[in-house]
Amino acid sequence: MFGMNDLLGSVISNLRTFKLNDLIDILVIAFAFYELFLFARKSRAGQLVKGIVLLFALYALAYLLDLRTVRWLLNSVLQVGFIAAVVLFQPELRRTLERIGQSTVWASKIFSNRRQDPSLHGVWQSAAVAICDAAEQLSDTRTGALMVLERNNNLDEIIRTGTPLSANVIPEMLGTIFYEGTPLHDGAVIIRDGRIVAAGCVLPLSNNLEMGKDMGTRHRAGLGMSENSDAVVIVVSEETGIISLAKNGVLIRRLDRQNLFNLLQEEIIPPLPDEEQNVSFWNRIRNKGGASAHGTQETRA
């Protein structure tokens, strides 16, 4: 009973001296360990992390048993092991840091956000329509295609793997590039600021093991590009003609033309300035009124 009183007294004493920064300190460490465990589970390096944990356990055991030679050897291994882990985990660490930068609100406000540039609204609007037209035509003819739409992350490294171009985004141009008889049909087209800047580019492949067996290298490349950048990638399957869109490591499949355009409008087309939005709103109201008076007409984006 005396021991229990001492324990309760120690707990109460610690609670009295407990400060807010202590709570923050605990939460930060807990969050760091939680993210580390998630990182180990989701990456291919999970087994390697288990090996590192085992080395730490052996080091603790050697310390308790006063095994000086073993402790010296493990200490030397652990010192070099930190640098080795950084080298081995380089792709996963890079992807994690990029995700943090993409999901941080204040970072997107500090650095330039090309997605919000209203001067590119018209160019991207026309490009989105052409991309949807081309995707529909390529899907009908079962022609494989891979189109990467650059957003805020610079894709110069990917562009250097292909053939530089400078062309407007029109269905005929995209159809010619991805036609099976052309030299550039196997690679990806890079579209920057509403213009084609490169074709025949090589994309990083995704390591996602949950991808279906009906998805080949083209889908794995599109998903890998979306995992390594904030780009939006459109994939047209050569075998099935299915249109897919990859963004932020997620593959959205079985899109029709209208659904594809809706996604591009949300992800790619910059919003209009407030004044232009108001004019566009009243134009839509007038057009709607005219359609009511003369009958409705089906329009495509």
- Could you tell me if 12 and 122 lie in one domain? no
- What is the per-residue pLDDT across 21-74, written as a single tens digit (0 to 9) for each? 777 888 888 887 777 676 666 555 566 667 777 888 888 888 888 888 888 888
User: Considering the domain boundaries, does residue 277 fall inside one?
Assistant: no
Same domain, 133 and 182: yes
Q: How many CB atoms lie within 10 A of CB 31?
A: 10
Return the structure tokens found at 195: 């213009």
Q: Which pLDDT value is given to residue 297?
A: 36
H or E stretch including 212?
none
- On whether both 89 and 208 belong to a single domain, the answer is no
- Residue 288 domain flag: no
Q: Which of these three, 102, 129, 148, is where a domain ends?
A: 102
92 inside domain: yes
172-181, 191-200, 243-252, 269-278: least confidently modelled range: 269-278
What is the reported pLDDT for 127? 96
Q: Residue 93: pLDDT above 60?
A: yes
Q: Token pair 């949300």 is at which residue?
A: 266
* Same-domain status, 124 and 238: yes
Q: Are 218 and 193 in contact (CB under 8 A)?
A: no
CATH value at residue 125: 3.40.1700.10
Based on the fold, state whether residues 74 and 132 are members of the same structural domain: no
- Burial pattern 273-294, b for ≥16 Cβ within 10 A else e, equals eeeeeeeeeeeeeeeeeeeeee
Q: What is the pLDDT of residue 56?
A: 80
Q: Which amino acid is at 214?
A: D
254 sits in the region (left: phi over 0; alpha: psi -120 to 50; else beta) called left
Q: How many residues in the chain?
A: 301
Residue 198 lies in a domain: yes
Instruction: Please state, in angstroms and rounded to a whole number, the distance separating the CA atoms of residues 243 and 264.
Output: 13
Q: What is the pLDDT at residue 46?
A: 61
**Residue 38 sits in the same domain as residue 135:** no
Tens of pLDDT, residues 220-235: 999 999 988 899 999 9
Residues 132 and 250 in one domain: yes
Classify residue 56: in a domain, yes or no: yes
pLDDT at 206 over 70: yes
Question: Would 294 be classed as within a structural domain?
Answer: no
Give Cα 6 distance to the centre of its chain: 54
- Span 235-261, mean pLDDT? 95
pLDDT on residue 70: 84
Domain coverage including residue 236: 115-270
Q: Do residue 170 and residue 246 come from a single domain? A: yes
207 has pLDDT over 90: no
Pair (207, 76) in one structural domain: no
Under 8 Å between Cβ of 145 and 236: yes
Q: Is residue 95 part of a domain?
A: yes
Same domain for 266 and 171, yes or no, is yes
**Band of residue 78 on the pLDDT scale cut at 50, 70, 90:** confident
Q: Look at residue 72 in the predicted model and tell me its pLDDT.
A: 86
Number of domains in the chain: 2
Residues 39 and 122 in one domain: no
User: Where does a domain end: 102, 129, 161?
Assistant: 102
Judged against a pLDDT cut of 80, whether residue 91 lies above it is answered with no
**Domain assignment of residue 243, yes or no:** yes
| Cα angle 262-193-117, degrees, rounded to a multiple of 5 | 80
Q: What is the mean pLDDT of residues 126-154?
A: 96
Same domain membership, residue 119 and residue 8 = no
